[in-house]
Amino acid sequence: MQDFLKILKRFAILACVILLAVACITVFGPKYRTMCGLESRCRFLRAQVENKQRDIHTIRENEGRLLTDPEFVARIAHQNRRVFPNEVVFVFNDN
């Protein structure tokens, strides 16, 4: 009889451990998948923010060059087809 109770106890403990493992997987599995998805989205959005910050920095540099560099102004005017070849570009200062 003692052997039967020992086997029954071990079986009950094993069943409890299995049920606990299944419950943990059932509860925490979807949360873990959601967390992984949110982390990847966060990395993607951070990369987009860094790209936009680089773009803003480039635009601000070009804006500064428009105010100080007449050759840059002429080149941009030619690129945007505002000025055609052999035309003169005048840059006026507000001094």
Specify the pLDDT at position 94. 65
What tokens does 83 get? 């000025």
Q: How far apart are CA 67 and CA 42, in angstroms?
A: 38
DSSP string covering 33-81, please? HHHHHHHHHHHHHHHHHHHHHHHHHHHHHHHHHHHH-HHHHHHHHHHTT
> What pLDDT does 74 receive?
80
Q: Which of 5-14, 33-42, 61-70, 83-92 has the lowest mean pLDDT?
A: 83-92
